[in-house]
Structure 1
Amino acid sequence: MSEAVALGAAPAVPAKGLRGGALGMVSSMVIGMSSTAPAYSIAATLGLIVLAGTGFKAAAFVLLSFVPVLFVAFAFRELNTAEPDCGTNFTWAARAFGPHAGWFTGWVVTVAQLLVMSSQSALTGRYTLLLFGASDAADSRWLTTAIGAGWLLALCWLCHRGIEVSARTQWILLGVELAVLVLFSVVALVRVFEGTAGPQASPPHLDWLWPGGVSAGTAVSAVLLAVFIYWGWESSLSVNEESADPRHAPGRAAVLSTVLLVLNYLLVTVAALAFAGVGADGIGLANEANSEDVLAGLGGAVFGDGATGKVLGVLLIVSVLTSGAATSQATIMPAARTTLSMASHGALPRVFGRVHPRFRTPTVATWAFGLVSLAVYVLLALISDNVLADSVDAVGLTIAIEYTMTALACVWVFRRTLFASVRNFVLRGLLPFTGGVFFLAVLGFALVEYARPDAGETTVFGIGGVAVIGVVSIVLGVPLMFAVHRACRDFFAGRRLPRGVVLRGGDRITPDRVG
């Protein structure tokens, strides 16, 4: 390649064959929101935040945890503007810190996606049975695993059929999910203000949104729980090459997704706190019996036992089911596109870069991820429910690494433009750096917390199973990276995806000749 690279010109990248211009900004935003599993995330986490000792301040920590996530979202947006590549984290980390860092970041993200697929497959299996009133059958590990596996394969098939089909499915699933959550929140709040919610209810107060008055240990535990309910919005950027405006729309969609998520979470959180209170008995959110799914515990109380209430209670189950299905599909799409990008840049064997000639989807990558997800899910589920539960919690470690690497990559790639304007300094430097340091600290706190023997459901030689599963899964990427090193020499030598920088006055990543 010539040394005379035009200002703002990116090095040539092989066309990946995806269907360009297929998605608008709203569709990208829907994919990002779906990937977070709004209904399931808040249902499974709110009770734990209250149990951590926050009480009514749980709402404050849901809001507080959003701030560093927003900072990282700005980093994603800025990097996408400079290089809209469906490999996202993998590509940008390689540009900033070199091919080994890029490959490892891609691996960490894939680990997170594999573990999330296990939890969401288990969720869809269980809630499918609950939808039909088979509560006893829902406790059968074999039956829920079989149904969850069926959902996983069906969603892989949908992703294989085309991005338009996937996007339309996401619209439907997310629409049902959000409609039921809003209905639940409105009914709960109306009953609180009418005085028909019961003696445990408390009218909302602005004080609930201020995190003061809790101990430092409680605050750290609450943030560790709350910050991960936002993970997934970055799926908006994984479909950037299929967007009508690849450089700008996906980044805007990602930022808007985080804003809509925090509004949704706050509405549900405040409604649940106001209606149920934070007591340890009955429907109180500090009741450990309800902590795994506070929405299921509140559904009957909020909607009542009449015919209408029973129908609405079923819809609440449907919302969690669609949440799991939407998240699974919205996880398969970015995982397949990360793999496609890695193959296109020579970081994986070329076979993973094959795109279906008709559907224009990464066929091999989609089915490869789906089948590996299926194997991991079945293995974890059949070992024990406790191992499956700890593997879900271990995702937090991978998320912290992903966000740290991407945020710091933003600062480094844009380092020569940071002082060109106040906007650049804030949105490309200060906020991403703050977000990156925050998640690096989260990684450290999480490792210490998860390593405690009583932190999860399992232990290995006296160490918490959550930490063991997370660390082993992450470190496994090192031998795998060296295993593909020989077949991908050009990539690891920096010839396929060289380190890059955005020059002052430019707006694209160019090869960094200085380093």
Structure 2
Amino acid sequence: MSEDSPHLAKSLNAFHLWGIAVGLVISGEYFGWSYGWGQAGTLGFLITTLVVGTMYVAFIFSFTELTSAIPHAGGPFAYALRAFGPWGGALAGFATLIEFVFAPPAIALAIGAYLNVPFSGLDPRLAALGAYGVFMALNIAGVSIAATFELFVTLLAVFELVVFMGVVAPSFRLAHFLAGGWAGQDHFSLAAIGGIVAAIPFAIWFFLAIEGVAMAAEEAKEPRRTIPRAYITGIVTLTVLAFGVMIFAGGTGDWRALANLNDPLPQAMKGAVGQSSGWLHMLVWLGLFGLVASFHGIIMGYSRQIFALARGGFLPGVLARLHPRFRTPHLAILAGGAIGIAAIYSDRFVHLAGQPLTASIVTLSVFGALTMYIVSMAALFRLRRTQPEMIRPYRAPLYPALPALALGLASIALATMVYYNLALALLYGVVVAVLCLLAVVLGKPAAIDEDAGGGPAA
């Protein structure tokens, strides 16, 4: 590794990494998933979530092998580059970048929607812009400060979800959850299968971005020990919360009233305890912490991906510059934020595939995630075969069955996503192909150094 290659500071412990793993995802427990009820009903979506949850558990237990063996800020980009060379690295890197750059605008608008409840005169887009400004600044101020804040808001968000389940539990009735549970019907039919498949993106939203811990690996203390702990405890935490929130919310009353809403938890609690309850006001305010945790953490993730791609020669080198005082990739943080803010303010007049822009970019984010999952599992198999001597402090259990399960389920999910979103799939494919072509042909791709703990090889 060259002496002048930018180095990120190592200051994160296992608790910080757990906070990042859970915080990156936890907004998905607060909003977005209820659209799956609109597609598949409660029982159909329960099946979708079981399958997607299985995919994520298999993926994380396998992906952790790569993250602990190659603790690099590029995460999947670094693994694919080492396994498949520049073209594989470019594909994984830009797919991950699309996932992480396009998720924050949707979360920022959800923050604006939550704030619009107590402040009805506040423009949600203005609130979203303010959120970008505050949390980009916090990320620039230093990774230790940013990760400590992430841990704090994540703990509050987890606490709030536990409180939600406790408060609505007395109102839970299994009959409520079962009524019309098969895409609005009381009995399973062939029509329900289409809904189960169509609901895949909303089940993925429960877990989307947990892999972002990989982008913090280069800043972790003892990454080969702390990362496996963070990933495994993180996926267990998120799985329990996802199923708990979904089941309790669906059993408090008529779940159809919650489908296709951006705030299903406050509405479920309103039905259980009434609009004037102090519990409801607490949920609205503390619910912001779940959104903030994911928004803040994903900014950290996209900035490290931009930084790693620039340092590796796949993006302009200026984006790999570190702040002289804080040692954070400040230009990468600002560049990703500029794209997100542009998306927020384009939402009113830009539509893709007949959908508002923010709805479309959530789908594009899922396309990026699934592509990255597939390439990462393929990289795991290839590196096991071509580099058996690589130091692997953590090895995927049940190899090769578990990584193959993750690879197979991710491939099926991507195929169904393409089928139901053909126009967006074509747009996504063209964008990724152009980015890869420009990066590999016009850029200056570098190999990952053998220690994989920092910049490209000299």
Q: One fold, TM greater than 0.5?
A: yes
Secondary structure class of the residue paired with 1:234: helix
Match of 2:302 in 1: 335
Unmatched 5+ stretches in structure 1: 1-10, 205-211, 277-283, 452-466, 501-506, 510-515
Task: Give the distance between the partners of 1:18 and 1:479, measured in 2 at CA.
Answer: 29
Secondary structure class of the residue paired with 1:116: helix
Are 1:37 and 2:26 counterparts?
yes
Letter in 2 for 1:31: I
Paired residues, number: 439
Q: Deviations over 1:416-456 (max 9, x none)?
A: 588999x96845532112211211111111111123xxxxx
Matching of residues 333-372 of structure 1 within 5 Å: 333-372=300-339
Shift of 1:368: 1.6
Letter in 2 for 1:81: S
Match of 1:481 in 2: 436
Matching of residues 90-489 of structure 1 within 5 Å: 90-132=77-119, 134=120, 137=121, 143-192=123-172, 201=176, 215=190, 216-276=193-253, 284-287=254-257, 291-306=261-276, 309=277, 311-383=278-350, 386-415=356-385, 426-451=397-422, 467-468=423-424, 470-485=425-440, 488-489=443-444
Task: Give the distance between the partners of 1:446 and 1:125, measured in 2 at CA.
Answer: 28
Shift of 1:66: 1.0
The one of the two structures with greater contact order (alpha-carbon pairs below 8 A, sep at least 6) is 2
Distance 1:475 1:256, change over 3 A: farther
Task: Give the distance between the partners of 1:131 and 1:326, measured in 2 at CA.
Answer: 20
Task: Give the distance between the partners of 2:387 and 2:73, measured in 1 at CA.
Answer: 24
Shift of 1:201: 4.7
Task: Give the distance between the partners of 1:122 and 1:358, measured in 2 at CA.
Answer: 32
Secondary structure class of the residue paired with 2:299: helix
Contact 2:215/2:305, CA 8 A, preserved across alignment: yes
Shift of 1:68: 0.9
Q: For the aligned residues, what is the CA RMSD?
A: 3.1
Distance 1:271 1:319, change over 3 A: same
Distance 1:381 1:411, change over 3 A: farther
| Higher alpha-carbon deviation: 179-188 or 314-323 | 314-323
In our comparison, the structure showing a higher alpha carbon Rg is 1
Contact 1:177/1:320, CA 8 A, preserved across alignment: yes
Contact 2:320/2:329, CA 8 A, preserved across alignment: yes
Task: Give the distance between the partners of 2:304 and 2:362, measured in 1 at CA.
Answer: 22
Shift of 1:474: 4.1
Q: Deviations over 1:46-78 (max 9, x none)?
A: 3x3333344346444433321111111123210
Distance 1:106 1:203, change over 3 A: closer
Structure-1-length-normalised TM-score:
0.77
Distance 1:81 1:131, change over 3 A: same
Letter in 1 for 2:244: L
Structure-2-length-normalised TM-score:
0.86
Task: Give the distance between the partners of 2:274 and 2:159, measured in 1 at CA.
Answer: 18
Distance 1:144 1:83, change over 3 A: same
Distance 1:159 1:202, change over 3 A: closer
| Higher alpha-carbon deviation: 396-405 or 171-180 | 171-180
Unmatched 5+ stretches in structure 2: 180-186, 454-458
Task: Give the distance between the partners of 1:347 and 1:14, measured in 2 at CA.
Answer: 18
Contact 1:410/1:429, CA 8 A, preserved across alignment: no
Distance 1:117 1:55, change over 3 A: closer
Secondary structure class of the residue paired with 1:45: coil
Are 1:55 and 2:42 counterparts?
yes
Letter in 2 for 1:295: L
Distance 1:412 1:371, change over 3 A: same
Of all paired residues, the percent bearing the same amino acid is 20
Are 1:66 and 2:21 counterparts?
no
Task: Give the distance between the partners of 2:83 and 2:324, measured in 1 at CA.
Answer: 33
